[in-house]
């Protein structure tokens, strides 16, 4: 007796050592014929909603889980059967095939040590959606080694890719390597890491996720731009909260519990990062009120005919970058043992963004190289991608300084928490009219409050205050910064 071989796809480690992921929605259904590397579901990780590609081709036999449920790493996601594969003898006791499949999975997991559970398919380079989904424009053709042959198309990506694009021709030091996991290939592609230049550390000679991340960090330290790809437009994610109905009868301290809501992966990640920041960093705060009336007027005049003026956040970011060039310690990092200060040639600017999913800090790599218009375009793209829930985790790492414009939330000040491993964060509140003394007279002026939170291990209050005064000077006299007034 023979039977078709059933393959079980189990949830791999999607990064950061996560132990689970929330199932947002299925992109296929039972009976669909799928290809290797085809997205079969959307899952919510600690930082974003990502598509999960299948390492197997065939007909979908079963889907494990409902939208809103949590799937543990290593648990079954779906089962497929290849109708064209040679039939295998059905031997052994019932359930033996499942044990063999689990052992094969464990073997693949061991082979990918260093990157967690890995997807074991090595399929097509083009991502094919199911017949029920609208076709998307991919990031471009992919060469046989898994590296991109095309260029990203978003506004901010064009600015960055022009600095990081490499030639297709083989160069010295390039050699064939094995990349078995589609997720590792995609991570390398998103970070602009040429896998052919890596020294694999996998037990079977394969490139692991750790190899790619290590190379990306090295590139950032060496001043090489991160190569970003445009994230696909996000869809409304399904509700993933596990909420009990009221009336369960549970009480705490005499009050009835109305509901219990499971903390999302994003909230767990934010909680862990903020807790680490507060526990490790001896922070201090300085703040000052700034007259931004001239900036407010100048911004309106900067709009081209038929166009729009740059955002206030873009203007503030440009002035902050100018001040950081004169105060580089505030865009540095401490070594893991806090015995050394790592100063960088430039700034990767993190920008706090309030989204429906929670606080995110997407990063603009090498922001110091961008002018106001380029910063404005990059900020708008980052904000749209973050709010759509389609921000890749790779774009939420690597900042060396963070800017938080909480004025958009309708508040004037905040005692912000430093975005670890940064050593400082600058916040700006509402720009509103207030009574202000000018030449002895009380007049109405646009006033905003700046607050700088800094790591006191890296610098003292005098250095931080000098930086804040420089930002204040640029905001109060913006025309000088643009060379309009000598």
In a domain, 129, yes or no: no
Please tell me the predicted confidence (pLDDT) of residue 5.
80
pLDDT of residue 19: 76
Here the tokens at position 481 are 């910064």
* Total number of residues shown for the chain: 486
Residues 316 and 453 placed together within one structural domain of the fold = yes
Task: Mark which of 55, 76, 111 sits at the end of a domain.
Answer: 111
Same domain, 318 and 401: yes
Residue 255 lies in a domain: no
What is the token pair recorded at 150?
């095309």
Do 274 and 409 lie in a common domain? yes
Least confident interval from 254-263, 345-354, 358-367:
254-263
Question: Which residues, 6 or more positions from 209, have their beta carbon under 8 angstroms from its beta carbon?
Answer: 13, 15, 114, 115, 116, 118, 181, 183, 184, 187
Question: Taking 90 as the threshold, does the pLDDT of residue 349 lie above it?
Answer: yes
Q: Is the pLDDT of residue 127 over 90?
A: no
Read off the CATH number of the domain in which 169 is found.
4.10.320.10
**Do residues 46 and 101 share a domain?**
yes
Q: Could you tell me which residue, 480 or 317, shows the higher pLDDT?
A: 317
210 pLDDT higher than 80: no
Is 236 within a domain?
no
Backbone angles phi, psi at 459, to 5 degrees: -150, 170
Residues 96, 162 within the same domain: no
Instruction: Specify the range with the lowest mean pLDDT, choosing from 347-361, 419-433, 444-458.
Output: 347-361
Question: Which of 46-60, 304-318, 357-371, 427-441 is the least confident region?
Answer: 46-60
* Assigned domain for 249 exists: no
| Whether residue 18 has pLDDT greater than 90 | no
Residues 6+ apart with CB under 8 A from 245: 259
Band of residue 447 on the pLDDT scale cut at 50, 70, 90 = very high
Asked if the structure places residue 233 within a domain, the reply is no
**Is the model more confident about 435 or about 407?**
435
Specify the pLDDT at position 410. Answer: 87
Residues 106 and 208 placed together within one structural domain of the fold:
no
Average pLDDT over residues 381-409: 86
pLDDT range class, residue 258, cuts 50, 70, 90:
confident
Is residue 138 in a domain? no
Checking if the pLDDT of 166 tops 90, the result is no
Mean pLDDT over 84-109 rounds to: 47
User: Do 468 and 350 sit in the same domain of this protein?
Assistant: yes
Residues 6+ apart with CB under 8 A from 225: 160, 163, 164, 192, 219, 365, 366
Most confident segment among 118-122, 200-204, 302-306, 320-324: 320-324
Mean pLDDT computed over 170-175: 47
Domains held by the chain: number: 3
Mean pLDDT of 47-53: 78
Lowest mean pLDDT: which of 20-24, 48-52, 166-170?
166-170
Choose one of 93, 111, 129: the last residue of a domain. Answer: 111
pTM for this predicted structure: 0.52
At residue 15, the pLDDT reads 62
Q: Calculate the dihedral angle through the C-alpha atoms of 351, 354, 357, 362, rounding to the nearest 10 degrees.
A: -10
Instruction: Note whether 184 and 93 are same-domain residues.
Output: no
Q: Which of 111, 143, 166 is the last residue of a domain?
A: 111
Query: What residues have CB less than 8 Å from 165, skipping those under 6 apart?
Result: 151, 227
How many Cβ atoms sit within 10 Å of the Cβ of residue 348? 22
Q: Is 284 exposed, middle or buried (0-12, 13-18, 19+ CB in 10 A)?
A: middle
pLDDT of 86? 60
Which CATH number goes with the domain that contains 365? 3.30.559.10
CA 125, 130, 133, 135 torsion-angle sign: positive
pLDDT band of residue 22 (cuts 50, 70, 90) is confident
Specify which of 39-53, 102-116, 380-394, 414-428 reaches the highest per-range mean pLDDT.
Answer: 414-428
Same-domain status, 305 and 417:
yes
Residues 382 and 323 in one domain: yes
Q: Residue 43 above 80 pLDDT?
A: yes
- Distance between CA 334 and CA 337 in Å, rounded? 8
Higher pLDDT, 243 or 359: 359
- Per the structure, the complete domain to which residue 177 belongs is given by 155-221
Alpha-carbon distance 217 to 446, whole Å?
41
Determine the average pLDDT of the residues in 298-326.
91
Asked whether residue 118 is domain-assigned, the answer is: no
Helix (H) or strand (E) holding 183: helix 182-191
User: Do residues 29 and 178 both lie within one domain?
Assistant: no
Whether 79 is in a domain gets the answer yes
CA distance 41 to 155: 28
Per-residue pLDDT at 69? 87
- Both 432 and 294 in one domain: the answer is yes
């Amino acid at each position: 007796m023979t039977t078709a071989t059933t393959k079980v796809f189990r949830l791999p480690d999607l990064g950061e050592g996560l132990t689970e992921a929330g199932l947002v929605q299925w992109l296929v259904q039972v009976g669909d014929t799928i290809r290797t590397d085809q997205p079969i579901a959307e899952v919510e990780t600690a930082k974003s909603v990502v598509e999960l590609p299948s390492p197997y081709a065939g007909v979908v036999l079963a889907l494990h889980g409902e939208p809103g449920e949590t799937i543990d790493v290593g648990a079954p996601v779906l089962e497929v059967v290849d109708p064209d594969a040679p039939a295998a003898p059905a031997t052994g006791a019932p359930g033996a095939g499942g044990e063999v499949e689990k052992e094969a999975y464990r073997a693949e997991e061991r082979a990918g040590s260093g990157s967690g559970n890995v997807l074991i398919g090595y399929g097509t380079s083009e991502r094919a959606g199911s017949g029920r989904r609208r076709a998307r424009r991919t990031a471009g053709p992919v060469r046989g080694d898994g590296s991109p042959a095309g260029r990203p198309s978003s506004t901010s990506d064009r600015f960055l890719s022009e600095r990081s694009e490499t030639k297709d021709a083989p160069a010295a030091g390039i050699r064939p390597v094995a990349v078995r996991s589609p997720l590792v290939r995609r991570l390398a592609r998103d970070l602009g890491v040429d896998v052919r230049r890596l020294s694999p550390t996998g037990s079977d000679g394969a490139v692991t996720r750790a190899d790619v991340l290590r190379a990306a960090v090295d590139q950032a330290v060496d001043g090489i731009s991160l190569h970003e790809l445009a994230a696909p437009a996000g869809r409304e994610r399904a509700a993933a909260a596990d909420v009990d109905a009221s009336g369960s009868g549970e009480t705490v301290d005499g009050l009835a519990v109305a509901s219990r809501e499971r903390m999302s992966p994003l909230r767990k990640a934010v909680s862990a990062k903020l807790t680490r920041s507060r526990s490790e960093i001896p922070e201090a705060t300085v703040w000052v009120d700034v007259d931004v009336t001239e900036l407010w007027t100048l911004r309106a005049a900067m709009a081209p005919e038929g166009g729009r003026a740059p955002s206030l956040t873009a203007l503030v970011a440009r002035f902050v970058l100018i001040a950081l060039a004169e105060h580089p310690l505030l865009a540095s990092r401490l070594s893991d043992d806090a015995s050394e200060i790592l100063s960088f040639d430039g700034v990767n600017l993190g920008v706090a963004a309030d989204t429906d999913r929670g606080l995110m800090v997407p990063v603009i790599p090498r922001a110091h190289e961008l002018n106001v218009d380029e910063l404005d375009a990059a900020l708008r793209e980052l904000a749209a991608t973050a709010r759509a829930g389609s921000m890749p985790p790779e774009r939420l790492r690597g900042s060396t300084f963070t800017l938080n414009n909480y004025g958009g939330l309708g508040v004037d000040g905040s005692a912000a928490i430093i975005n670890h491993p940064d050593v400082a964060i600058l916040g700006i509140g509402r720009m509103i009219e207030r009574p202000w003394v000018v030449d002895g007279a009380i007049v109405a002026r646009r006033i905003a409050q700046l607050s700088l939170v800094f790591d006191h291990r890296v610098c003292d209050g005098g250095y931080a205050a000098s930086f804040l005064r420089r930002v204040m000077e640029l905001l109060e006299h913006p025309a000088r910064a643009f060379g309009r007034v000598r």
